[in-house]
Amino acid sequence: MSAGQPPINSPEIQRLTPVLGPGHTYASVTDKISAIVLTRKTSIGWYIGFLLAFSVFGVMNIAIGYLFMKGVGIWGINIPIGWGFAIVNFVWWIGIGHAGTLISAILFLLNQKWRTSINRFAEAMTLFAVACAGIFPLIHTGRPWYAFWMFPYPSVMGIWPQFRSPLIWDVFAVSTYGTVSLLFWFVGLIPDLATLRDRATTKPKQIIYGMLALGWRGSARHWHRYQSAYLLLAGLATPLVLSVHTVVSFDFSVAIVPGWHTTIFPPYFVAGAIYSGFAMVLTIAIPLRKAYGLEDFITMRHLENMAKVMLATGLIVAYGYFFEFFMSLYSGNKFDVFLVNQRLHGPYSHFYYALILCNILIPQLLWFQKMRTNVAVLFAMSIIVNIGMWLERFVIIVISLTRDFMPSAWGRYSPTVWDYATLIGTMGMFVMLIFLFVRVLPAISIAEMRELVTETAEEHK
């Protein structure tokens, strides 16, 4: 940095690190984003990455195929630990799936312009994470071919699901969330699909994108209704995104198991979900902008803002951990006090310390702007936070279930190779879907970037 430059946090620098690089026009943003899908040659790196992810996805299919043949006995679950990796992974993935809708809906309502270039792939990430999450409740049922019993349908048995159970609330929350996220994503895509249709170079592409674009022609009357619908969707998705992890936390907090039965669970689950979701958006955004040269669109400002959201939600999570502890001790309930003791000194205490390290201690580095603007640090941090959030769910589920009320009901849990194969396999599926997505659909909303061009042009006047 030369001597003449202003200090790093001054308004000038804020202005110089905009949400959109300088010199862009309607045509240039359109060209640059649509070219990734339509004209640029698929790089060898894409093929290698896709094949790797695809092979890991294959591992998942083998693991699930073998599970269907043999049953849940191939996993490490036992009595009393009936909820092993499957539910840990479910809660982890569904948490990751929160950032997309948060960025799309809440930041949209708050008129945060920096959301524009990250919302599309964050929404896609949400969908894929929900898809990964959805696998686990299904396969952990033991007899997954009866999974449709969870939905209320007029069966010959003449009975209905137990609507007073959080597990049924979960079915409704997650399926509604998946559906609304898909709608939100697709509505946002319609104008961009029309762009791809109009710029497609081959007949098959024209036909496929044309059908998906539903005949969108950019008519002002259509835009008028489109904007109403989009705003309403954002308004509807906002309480929805907060409700989903709340309902997931009810799966635990409505039960009377020590360590689960606490009222702080809903808010701290939601904060944790946003925390891990933003971490995953960073994990994807950093390689994506590098690979496709999108530094103009996903600028340092985006990365820094995401780091700030991570820091804030991470602190809420830390507050949750602290009060979970405090309330257990303050209550004087001997089972709760014992559980705290078990977290700190029990057989799984190393997981608990690793969790505190990953989720609370290391992310404090984000207080420093030097760290927030260092891409390598952010990338490493995003991975660490996601490991931490996975450990959090492991600690909640396994420690509580292995240390129930009576010593005769205590147990131990150790996952098998099939547990790991399924977890890693879903990661493969997730990465594979991301690879496919950036190849066939615009990873950044082109229509919204054009709006941003207009707005930044006005700001520079």
101 lies in the binding site for another protein (CB under 8 A)? no
Nearest CB to another protein, comparing residues 10 and 219: 219
55-74 mask for another protein (x: CB under 8 A)? Answer: --------------------
Residues contacting another protein: total by CB under 8 A: 60
Q: How far is the CB of 43 from another protein (least distance, A)?
A: 25
* Under 8 Å between Cβ of 446 and 34: yes
* Under 8 Å between Cβ of 212 and 204: no
* Contact positions with another protein (CB under 8 A) in 397-456: 447-448, 450-451, 454
232 lies in the binding site for another protein (CB under 8 A)? yes
Q: Which stretch binds another protein (CB under 8 A): 74-82, 83-91, 177-185, 407-415?
A: 177-185
Identify residue 37 by its one-letter amino acid code: V
211 lies in the binding site for another protein (CB under 8 A)? yes
227 lies in the binding site for another protein (CB under 8 A)? yes
Q: How far is the CB of 205 from another protein (least distance, A)?
A: 14
105 lies in the binding site for another protein (CB under 8 A)? no
- Among 146, 148, 153, 163, which residue sits at the site for another protein (rule: CB under 8 A)? 163
Helix axes 26-38, 166-199, angle to 10 degrees: 110
What's 102's DSSP letter? I
Half-sphere exposure of 229 (CA within 13 A, CB side): 14
Nearest CB to another protein, comparing residues 78 and 206: 206
For residue 145, give the 3-state DSSP assignment: helix
- Omega before 80 cis (within 30°)? yes
Q: How far is the CB of 288 from another protein (least distance, A)?
A: 23
235-254 mask for another protein (x: CB under 8 A)? Answer: -xx-xx--x---x--x----
- Among 40, 113, 199, 261, which residue sits at the site for another protein (rule: CB under 8 A)? 199
- Among 13, 48, 147, 214, which residue sits at the site for another protein (rule: CB under 8 A)? 214
255 lies in the binding site for another protein (CB under 8 A)? no
Nearest CB to another protein, comparing residues 96 and 242: 242
CA 101 to CA 239: how far, in whole Å? 10
218 lies in the binding site for another protein (CB under 8 A)? yes
Q: How many residues does the chain have?
A: 461
The radius of gyration of the chain's CA atoms, rounded to the nearest angstrom, is 23
The torsion of the CA quartet 371, 376, 377, 379, rounded to 10 degrees, works out to 120
CA 397 to CA 362: how far, in whole Å? 23
- Among 26, 326, 330, 353, which residue sits at the site for another protein (rule: CB under 8 A)? 26
- Among 72, 194, 389, 399, which residue sits at the site for another protein (rule: CB under 8 A)? 194
CA 53 to CA 37: how far, in whole Å? 20
* Contact positions with another protein (CB under 8 A) in 128-157: 152
- Omega before 152 cis (within 30°)? no
361 lies in the binding site for another protein (CB under 8 A)? no
Q: How far is the CB of 228 from another protein (least distance, A)?
A: 4
Identify residue 125 by its one-letter amino acid code: M
Structure tokens at 324: 């979970």
Q: How far is the CB of 206 from another protein (least distance, A)?
A: 11
229 lies in the binding site for another protein (CB under 8 A)? yes
* Under 8 Å between Cβ of 387 and 356: no
Task: With residue 443 as reference, give the H or E element that holds it.
Answer: none
Nearest CB to another protein, comparing residues 80 and 266: 266
* Under 8 Å between Cβ of 185 and 123: yes
- Among 119, 195, 253, 400, which residue sits at the site for another protein (rule: CB under 8 A)? 195
CA 230 to CA 188: how far, in whole Å? 8
Structure tokens at 438: 């950036």
- Among 173, 281, 294, 366, which residue sits at the site for another protein (rule: CB under 8 A)? 173
The set of residues, in sequence order, having a beta carbon less than 8 Å from that of 411 and lying 6+ positions away, is 78, 79, 80, 81, 401, 402
39 lies in the binding site for another protein (CB under 8 A)? no
Q: How far is the CB of 295 from another protein (least distance, A)?
A: 22
27 lies in the binding site for another protein (CB under 8 A)? yes
Handedness of CA 371, 372, 374, 376 (dihedral sign): positive
* DSSP letter for each residue of 381-441: HHHHHHHHHHHHHHIIIIIHHHS-SSGGG-------HHHHHHHHHHHHHHHHHHHHHHHHS
Q: How far is the CB of 254 from another protein (least distance, A)?
A: 9
Interface contacts to another protein, rule CB under 8 A: 25-27, 30, 152, 158-160, 163-164, 166, 168-169, 172-173, 176, 179-180, 183-184, 186-187, 191, 194-195, 197-199, 210-211, 214-229, 232-233, 236-237, 239-240, 243, 247, 250, 447-448, 450-451, 454
